[in-house]
Structure 1
Amino acid sequence: MTIRLISDSGDLRELGEGLTGESRMAVDLEAAGFHRYSDRVCLLQVTSGNQNFIVDTLAVDPSDVLRGPLESPTVTVLLHGGDYDLRLLDRDLDLHPVTLFDTQTAAALLGEPSLGLAALLKKYLDVHVSKKYQRADWAKRPLPDEMLDYAASDTRHLHQLADLLTERLDALGRRSWAEEESALMETLRWHSDGEVDPVTKIKGVRKFELRDVALIREAWLWRDEVARARDRAPFRVAGDPAILEIVRERPRDVSALARIHGFSPQLAERAGRELLDRLERTDGLDDSELVGYPSGPSGPRRPPPAVEEVANRLKVVRNEAAEALGIARGVLMSNTVILEIALVHPGSVEELAQIEGVRHWQLETLADRFLAAL
């Protein structure tokens, strides 16, 4: 199967013509968040029939061409672990596929122990997919043919894999389970974190003293500005452990900063002076001027003993059912949903169905046993 790179307006017309009349297409995205400051979409792969398209989304905007086929209720869009891809399609291309089939979800409902695409392709199709470019920088240009071939492998075999998984779902009477889960994915949209205090993103900072928290925040903001200016992932500028060590050690000059583990001497030479000046200004503030760790709950509160006891009874039922079905416990139902059921304590199937997170296929499997346990 040949690969067609779409990188200009003429190519886009060819893409539109190639997808016309197709009833199924496999879609995948490559983003640059592991290397770049922004995790913007860099490539969009589409396989349909015997055609394999790779769209360079840094060069062209394919949204108008793809909107018709991707948002048509008569076209099934195949994905593998598509939660994040769907959010990126919404954020970067304003595209919202409406008829989905997710092969990772299907595999989980079949009880597959390994849900990665490479493992499933090896098992079902005896296809070996290299992981060489799993963390490649997809924003660099030009992309070598080997990287384009790797990107195409994410969609090239999805049609065959989906067919084989669907056969097994049908044999076990679970196709409706996969269809319901895939339908719920259609509503996924991008949601930004909003205004979040950066110190909450670094593990363990809650336990630091007021002044140290303020210094960590300032160092984080410095790193974010450097990362944005250089279009580099922040952890590639300096990792969180380096930020914490800087605050603990309080280096007073660039040479001392360069000796911090995980902080490159080159970075210290080029931008370290600004960081030290900012930390010195922050450290010179009075305690009353400093902002500490934001107040708020440290995590989910433990439920009352009576509710916890009910949840434990429900977990026993869930675990027994999962073992009988041959699927993971969390796939059958998450502990979060079980706790919500224990809190609500429904008395009927109708009340159970109203609880957020409860699926229809789960009711078929668990409702009677849950109500008996309640």
Structure 2
Amino acid sequence: MPDSPDSPPDDDEVTALLEPPGGVSAPLTTPEQIADLARRLSSAEGPVAIDAERASGYRYSPRAHLIQLNRRGVGTVLIDPIEVPDLSSIGEALRGVEWVIHAASQDLACLAETGMRPDRLFDTELGGRIAGLERVSLGRMTELLLKISLAKGHSAADWSIRPLPRDYLVYAALDVEILLDLRDEVEALLDKQGKLGWAHEEFESVRTAPPPPPRVNPWRRTNGIQAVKDRPGLAIVRALWESRDEIAKRTDLAPGKVLPDRLIVAAAIAKPKHMGAMLDLDGFTRRGVITHRKRWLEAINAALGLPETELPPRREPTDPSAPPSRWMSKEPKVAEFFATAREVVLALSEELSIPAENIVPPTAIRSLAWQHPEHVDTESVDAFLAAEGARPWQRALVAERIAAALN
């Protein structure tokens, strides 16, 4: 029986790539270096591999702290966008060029902040999903399709530190060193499966996607908030979260570095009314937290002083965009409609070896369930899914089947 596309290669088939063959150069840090790179990129041919490193978990801002490029004829180049934040000349040099990015939705926003926006996109991670690969990390896919293992280990590093250690630069350079070769393998796999057109529709959708809308009541996502059982406690969570967010944004520190979620929840449960009681809570005397102790106590006291009419409700109104587990037991008719449509999507997912969330946007199925129209046909389902952002290939697969199942 032949191996599936996701069959693991034998260890002796995989070659370790510990450093780029051409070595690693220091990141570009001057406008003159960027202008020279733009000229070289303009004269090269073929797609360009691009990646960006952020300092998630360390900084509030999602900005890029390192950008990596590789184009045949130019090689691998690293750029420090903190030193040269305007990279619009690079964007102009790559007009009309296909950008190859692994998990592009994670990087496009921070690249756009520098003036770099693609005209065409090939997302190797998304392509791997559509091709039916179960594990689509860059390292896993290079091992599977190129028989090359990459030196990894700094994906969660603090990329805002300067100077960046050499091993960080090696890691970053390897992320784009063989990405163009991986792109070719993914394209061949998609073409063989008859899914290449579907993949290109998905790539374009990612490229042109608008920024996500702001979250409603983001403080309710505080980890551990389910332990807070009363409305005054929830008011404390909200007040501390909002104070923390303002400080984190102003200082460009990750919110968890300013005040961890567990301390917000602890204060919401304990409801300390004076400084001593608050500092007695485990963690409030730690470095960083204690610096803003007056702000934390002010937030707590302000929350405890709210009239009942201004306290947050214990539960939010049912949100159609929320995961089904939050509303299925409360809305049986919606739940049945959703389950019927979801069953169709899951069957197609198994049939085509494509994750269900890539068959059709999950929010589209949830929204359709909440509408639960009395009369359903292929045309009405197709129109609804189109309005919810489903791509033509997705609607062609699911609209008729969902309509039939619901009738």
TM > 0.5 fold call = yes
Q: Deviations over 1:173-206 (max 9, x none)?
A: 1110111100111212435628x65633425379
The counterpart of 2:71, out of the listed 42, 48, 55, is 48
Q: In the alignment, is residue 321 of structure 1 matched against residue 348 of structure 2?
A: yes
Matched residue SS, 1:327: coil
Matched residue SS, 1:36: coil
Following the alignment from structure 1 to structure 2, what is the Cα–Cα distance between the partners of residues 128 and 14? 32
The code of the aligned residue for 1:28 comes to D
Following the alignment from structure 2 to structure 1, what is the Cα–Cα distance between the partners of residues 185 and 275? 60
Following the alignment from structure 1 to structure 2, what is the Cα–Cα distance between the partners of residues 213 and 306? 31
Deviation at 1:308, TM superposition (A): 4.7
Deviation at 1:269, TM superposition (A): 4.8
Q: Which residue is 1:68 aligned to?
A: 92
Deviation at 1:279, TM superposition (A): 3.1
TM-score scaled by length of structure 1: 0.85
Consecutive unaligned residues in structure 2, runs of 5 or more:
1-21, 321-326
The counterpart of 1:23, out of the listed 30, 38, 46, is 46
1:1-374 pair list within 5 angstroms: 1-4=22-25, 5-21=27-43, 22-49=45-72, 50-70=74-94, 72-73=95-96, 75-90=97-112, 92-191=113-212, 193=214, 197=217, 199-203=219-223, 204=225, 208-228=229-249, 230-251=251-272, 257-267=278-288, 269-280=290-301, 282-283=303-304, 285=305, 287=307, 291-293=311-313, 297-300=317-320, 308-340=335-367, 343=372, 346-348=376-378, 352=382, 355=385, 356-373=388-405, 374=407
Following the alignment from structure 1 to structure 2, what is the Cα–Cα distance between the partners of residues 316 and 211? 41
- Contact (CA 8 Å) 1:24, 1:48: kept in 2 or not? yes
Q: Deviations over 1:35-55 (max 9, x none)?
A: 012222211111111511111
- Contact (CA 8 Å) 2:68, 2:172: kept in 1 or not? yes
- Contact (CA 8 Å) 2:29, 2:83: kept in 1 or not? yes
Following the alignment from structure 2 to structure 1, what is the Cα–Cα distance between the partners of residues 87 and 155? 25
The code of the aligned residue for 2:98 comes to T
The code of the aligned residue for 2:89 comes to V
Deviation at 1:2, TM superposition (A): 3.8
Matched residue SS, 1:128: strand
Identity of aligned residues (%): 26
Q: Deviations over 1:269-317 (max 9, x none)?
A: 543244335534554x362685435985243255975665454344333
Consecutive unaligned residues in structure 1, runs of 5 or more:
none
Following the alignment from structure 1 to structure 2, what is the Cα–Cα distance between the partners of residues 235 and 277? 19
- Contact (CA 8 Å) 1:210, 1:290: kept in 2 or not? no
Deviation at 1:26, TM superposition (A): 0.9
- Contact (CA 8 Å) 2:231, 2:314: kept in 1 or not? no
Following the alignment from structure 1 to structure 2, what is the Cα–Cα distance between the partners of residues 253 and 305? 47
Q: How many residues align?
A: 369
The code of the aligned residue for 1:317 comes to V
Bigger CA drift: 134-143 or 12-21?
Answer: 12-21
Deviation at 1:212, TM superposition (A): 2.5
Instruction: Report the aligned-residue RMSD.
Output: 3.1
Matched residue SS, 1:6: coil
Following the alignment from structure 2 to structure 1, what is the Cα–Cα distance between the partners of residues 340 and 171? 47
The code of the aligned residue for 1:113 comes to E
